[in-house]
Amino acid sequence: MNSKGKGLLGLLAVLVAVAVFGWFGYISMKDIRLGLDLAGGVSITYQAVEEDPTAEQMADTVYKLQQRVQNYSTEAEVYQEGNNRINIDIPGVSDANAILEELGKPGSLVFTDEDYNVLMTGDMVATAKAGMVETATGQQYVVQLTLTDEGASTFAKITEENLGKRIAIIYDGEVVSAPTVQSAITGGQCEITGLGSYEVAENLASTIRIGSLSLELEEMRSNVVGAKLGQEALSTSLMAGLVGFLIVVVFMIAVYRIPGLAASISLTLYVGLILVLLSAFEITLTLPGVAGIILSIGMAVDANVIIFTRIKEEIGQGKTVQASIKSGFHKALSAIIDGNVTTLIAAAVLYWRGSGTVKGFAATLALGIILSMFTALVATQLTLRALYAIGFSHERWYGVKKDGKTINFLAARKICIAVSAVVIVSSLAFMGINHSATGSILNYSLDFKGGTSTSVTFNEDMSLDAISSQVVPVVSEITGDAAIETQKVSGTNEVIIKTRTLSVEERQALDEALVENFGVEEEKITAESISGAVSAEMKKDAAVAVVIATICMLLYIWIRFSDMRFAASSVLALVHDVLVVFTFYAAFRWSVGSTFIACMLTIVGYSINATIVIFDRIRENRKTAGPKMDLMELVNYSVSQTLTRSINTSLTTFIMVFVLFIMGVSSIREFALPLMVGIVCGTYSSVCLAGAMWYMMNKRHGKMAQ
């Protein structure tokens, strides 16, 4: 078979793969688990049995329940309602009874001796997991317990005192297990053995977990609730994604011609694959998860742009098209790998240390990065070689890029640094103004600050559109705030309205407005104060995860580039971008909620990737030119070489988010706006600041060495 025949066969294979995965992706869309903000789910309310629990007990119980319900979905929300109630919202499920049965009743758990004297309480157990171990007699099902520090010392003492005796585990007055103590257990880890099946082990582990809460809880109510953002938000987001994707495809083909066509085919394959895998891995998709996908699509485009820019440069140096394609992929490999691996490191750490929306964001981002690397390095390459083989072999189909004029970016470094410093420092002034005016330095949303939850039973079944167009404006007029969340309780006329914290006068005014406008019976309106769904522990988890991820990225860049200055400059540029976007949040009082965390994480991933591409070119040019090239010339030349890539990648990613902003509902626009600022800021810092900081560090190092 000649090369043209092989090319046709290769192209056909790629197109078949695109069609197959595109079809399966389309089918899989209905099976993708959507978060509470996009599709609704189950809402369960518990009340503490203890009459007056402390704030510390409530906070600890909320956090432990948050960890527990993540088994159902990483996007599950747990928040305090009133003084002694805890609400759990679990997305993507619709059977409240099944959830309650699996979750169990959060009652009291104690460990006693054979005379039922209490030796230890359940809150001293950190985790309990079912497992299976190999023994001399075969496999055994076990429950593995991890104790708290206090529990470890207590358990060591009671096991030593009860050797050969049974210790009963009693849940709500019923003995659920009574294992015999075989040895003193001092390490804070132990196993309950001799269980008949994995199901028995899992049930016991679940009972111990739910009984290890700081408070004993009783179920008050459970119901199925509708989406927070509504069906309109989901449909417009999907349409915006499609429109944005088509614009990117047209842009890629118009700018890069045949390589752009190859990239468009591989990007279509990417979309099909990610839909299939989101369904296969049962990843819950929420608005922050959509951000992770947008970022990974941007990185998929970025990888292709890096490759195509390299191909144009190779052709511009006089190489044949075939040789340029081979060389282009080879030379682009290090930048693609380094950029994607650093972001993948961040995603892995965020998933490991984060919780709630942070986990969901990390999961979709990691999946997207892996797929983007595959489609860029494998699918695009196969498609491009096939198109070349069938006759698209002339250089006019690929473009030619010769060395243009080197722009002196470093000449403006002091001005750029000064402007950035002024913008960042101004955030302090804006936060001060906000605090004086409102008592808060930022415009914290319900997710962060909590508010008032008003339950209203209407006389008729209100549709989601009616709630959005009729009820929300009435509520907004009373609160003077557009940050309003509504949920519809399935099978009833009840609607839950969440707002900022309302005063007694505002609650009364809202009740009167609902009665006047909708004929609601006043006794069918109830209100409770609710805590933020993003708890203090979740904020701490997110902050710790970002710090660890930043350190890991710094170490990776240091090792890969063999120069700490590259790593330090990358991280400084990253911190700059986050602080500038933070300034915009303060200046324009953008709502700070769970999407704020996802937005900042997206900017972190985007910024580090853009900077690494430029540093990769500096590293390459330094090796090629050696010490003869002036340091300032080296930086300016490298940034100028990658400028087209920086602009085109930012533009394609910006297009995706901008279309989302234009077509989305208000809550979507609230999320897309800071992302657009982050994209622009990330491009600016990579082009104007990162190289400049590396240059200044090298100059300072050189002076010190003399």
pLDDT at 29 over 70: yes
Clarify whether residues 7 and 47 are in a common domain.
no
8 A C-beta contact, residue 612 and residue 629: no
Q: Is residue 25 part of a domain?
A: yes
Question: Which among 153, 180, 212 is the end of a domain?
Answer: 212
| Spatial CA neighbour of 173 closest among 222, 255, 118 | 118
Clarify whether residues 266 and 320 are in a common domain.
yes
Measured between alpha carbons, how far is 618 from 569 in angstroms, rounded to an integer? 13
Residues 6+ apart with CB under 8 A from 321: 315, 388, 393, 394, 395, 397, 398
Of residues 477 and 221, the one with the higher pLDDT is 477
8 A C-beta contact, residue 36 and residue 75: yes
Whole-angstrom CA distances from 460 to 350, 417, 463 are 44, 60, 9
Residue 305 identity (one-letter amino acid): V
Clarify whether residues 297 and 342 are in a common domain.
yes
Which pLDDT value is given to residue 365?
Answer: 80
The band of 106, judged by pLDDT with boundaries at 50, 70 and 90, is: low
pLDDT at 67 over 80: no
Q: Is residue 437 part of a domain?
A: no
Inter-helix orientation angle 287-316/357-374, to 10°: 30
Cβ-count burial 104-123 (b if 16+ within 10 Å, e if not): bbbbbbbbbeeeeeebbbbb
Clarify whether residues 455 and 517 are in a common domain.
yes
Measured between alpha carbons, how far is 668 from 670 in angstroms, rounded to an integer? 5
CATH of the domain at 54: 3.30.70.3400
Which pLDDT value is given to residue 73?
Answer: 72
pLDDT digits 0-9 by tens, 603-657: 877 788 889 989 999 998 988 877 778 899 999 999 999 998 889 888 888 888 8
Q: Is residue 402 part of a domain?
A: no
pLDDT digits 0-9 by tens, 314-345: 998 889 999 999 999 999 998 889 888 888 88
pLDDT digits 0-9 by tens, 68-103: 777 677 667 788 877 888 888 887 676 766 776 666
List the structure tokens of 680: 């622009």
CATH of the domain at 587: 1.20.1640.10
Q: Where are the beta strands (DSSP E) in 596-689?
A: none
Which pLDDT value is given to residue 227?
Answer: 61
Clarify whether residues 541 and 589 are in a common domain.
yes
Question: Which among 193, 225, 257 is the end of a domain?
Answer: 225
Question: Which among 178, 212, 246 is the end of a domain?
Answer: 212
pLDDT digits 0-9 by tens, 163-192: 999 999 887 778 888 889 888 888 888 888
Q: Is residue 403 part of a domain?
A: no
Whole-angstrom CA distances from 61 to 41, 108, 254, 530 are 22, 13, 56, 15
Q: Is residue 444 part of a domain?
A: no
Residues 6+ apart with CB under 8 A from 112: 118, 119, 167, 168, 170
Q: Is residue 436 part of a domain?
A: no
pLDDT digits 0-9 by tens, 126-142: 888 888 887 777 788 88
Q: How far apart are the first and last CA of the chain?
A: 65
Clarify whether residues 249 and 181 are in a common domain.
no
Clarify whether residues 557 and 693 are in a common domain.
yes
Which pLDDT value is given to residue 355?
Answer: 64
Clarify whether residues 565 and 649 are in a common domain.
yes
Clarify whether residues 371 and 307 are in a common domain.
yes
Which pLDDT value is given to residue 705?
Answer: 35
Clarify whether residues 559 and 513 are in a common domain.
no
The band of 6, judged by pLDDT with boundaries at 50, 70 and 90, is: confident
Measured between alpha carbons, how far is 440 from 586 in angstroms, rounded to an integer? 10
Compute, in degrees rounded to 10, the torsion defined by CA atoms 283, 289, 290, 292. -110
Which pLDDT value is given to residue 286?
Answer: 72
Of residues 24 and 539, the one with the higher pLDDT is 24
How distant is the alpha carbon of residue 153 from its chain centre?
A: 38
| Spatial CA neighbour of 301 closest among 616, 681, 647, 661 | 647
Which pLDDT value is given to residue 501?
Answer: 83
pLDDT digits 0-9 by tens, 402-438: 777 899 999 999 999 999 999 999 999 999 999 898 8
| Spatial CA neighbour of 248 closest among 288, 287, 305 | 305
CATH of the domain at 518: 3.30.70.600
Q: What is the mean pLDDT of residues 507-516?
A: 91
The band of 690, judged by pLDDT with boundaries at 50, 70 and 90, is: very high
How many structural domains comprise the chain? 5
Q: Is residue 441 part of a domain?
A: no
8 A C-beta contact, residue 361 and residue 292: yes
Clarify whether residues 129 and 255 are in a common domain.
no
pLDDT at 538 over 90: no
pLDDT at 219 over 50: yes
Q: Where are the beta strands (DSSP E) in 379-483?
A: 443-444, 451-457
Clarify whether residues 363 and 234 are in a common domain.
yes
Tokens 């909590």 -> residue:
450
Q: Which domain holds residue 466?
A: 451-530
Which pLDDT value is given to residue 706?
Answer: 30
**Chain mean pLDDT for the chain:** 83
pLDDT at 703 over 60: no
Q: Is residue 446 part of a domain?
A: no
pLDDT at 232 over 70: no
Of residues 556 and 238, the one with the higher pLDDT is 556
